[in-house]
């Protein structure tokens, strides 16, 4: 069976996204994201927001094929930051146990990003206003697809850095979710994407064969529901982790632990995303 987007389920997700309690849940998920905690620590270690943001970008663009859990990877990144983003990045990528695989290629990628540092500082204020400009420039410098996971993820982490610093940044509807194994797993569990059972093997296959369908499905849900797709990523990623650890039966309990002050009106939405239909 081929993978396909379930437009009916996409519309259900969109309808929930228009509700106030679900909008609150989206905000709560960004605050609960372990990556946000790491960014807060990174911000405390640099004198300038621009330096924090560049270090975060650098960590983000090498955050693939990790040899530790993502949460541990970002904890290590935060602990390595010391106030000088270029040397901090080089040192982190050269030594972090989370980046053992393909370290030479990652170091080369960081050097390409370092070449972008002067322009980044020059355009920093513009990037705060236009995240799409940052995404385009990152893709050009790194010679990557603007929709690739690391480019979109780096753009999200730049947004997180600005948000953690107390700035209001408009996230455009044109930027998709960064597709990884967890998002593929949740796409199958929720039924937003059909064509396979919701397990890790099938999630990896979906990631390999049709990540564009995952991007398209959540982009459509976000647009129809009035929430920029990139802002859905934290919630989807966290719930994908709940499903990964607890399976269909235990995922909802883990989600309740993750959101102890979950708005009552958001519970049915979480159940929908986890595939727990009545």
Active site residues: 149, 180
C-alpha 139/C-alpha 136 separation (Å) is: 5
| DSSP annotation of 83 | S
C-alpha 176/C-alpha 73 separation (Å) is: 23
Residue 174 structure tokens: 């044109």
217 with 272: CB under 8 angstroms? Answer: no
User: Helical H runs in the chain?
Assistant: 7-17, 20-32, 34-45, 49-61, 70-80, 85-95, 103-115, 117-129, 131-142, 149-164, 181-190, 200-209, 211-225, 229-258, 267-273
Secondary structure of residue 5 in the 3-state scheme? strand
Residue 226 structure tokens: 């009035």
Checking DSSP bridges between strand 4-5 and strand 193-194, what pairing results, if any?
antiparallel
Residue 85 structure tokens: 């983003």
C-alpha 181/C-alpha 167 separation (Å) is: 30
């Amino acid at each position: 069976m081929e993978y396909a987007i379930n437009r009916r389920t996409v519309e259900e997700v969109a309808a929930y996204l228009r509700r106030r309690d679900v909008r609150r849940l989206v905000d709560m998920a960004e605050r609960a994201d372990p990556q946000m905690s790491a960014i807060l620590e990174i911000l405390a270690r640099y004198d300038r927001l621009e330096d924090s943001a560049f270090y975060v970008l650098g960590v983000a663009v090498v955050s693939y094929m990790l040899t530790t859990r993502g949460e541990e990877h970002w904890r290590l990144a935060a602990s390595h930051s010391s106030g000088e983003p270029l040397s901090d990045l080089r040192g982190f990528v050269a030594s972090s146990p989370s980046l053992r695989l393909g370290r030479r290629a990652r170091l080369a990628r960081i050097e390409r990003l370092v070449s972008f540092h002067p322009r980044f500082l020059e355009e920093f204020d513009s990037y705060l206003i236009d995240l799409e400009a940052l995404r385009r420039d990152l893709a050009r410098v790194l010679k990557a697809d603007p929709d690739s996971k690391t480019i979109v993820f780096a753009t999200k982490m730049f947004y997180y850095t600005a948000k953690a610093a107390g700035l209001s940044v408009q996230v455009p509807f044109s930027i998709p979710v960064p597709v990884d194994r967890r998002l593929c797993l949740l796409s199958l569990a929720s039924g937003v994407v059909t064509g396979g059972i919701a397990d890790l093997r099938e999630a990896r296959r979906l990631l390999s064969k049709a990540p564009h369908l995952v991007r398209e499905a959540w982009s459509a849900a976000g647009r129809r529901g009035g929430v920029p797709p990139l802002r859905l990523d934290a919630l989807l990623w966290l719930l994908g982790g709940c499903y990964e650890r607890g399976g269909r039966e235990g995922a909802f309990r883990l989600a309740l632990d993750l959101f102890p002050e979950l708005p009552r009106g958001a519970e049915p939405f979480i159940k929908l995303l986890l595939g727990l239909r009545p």
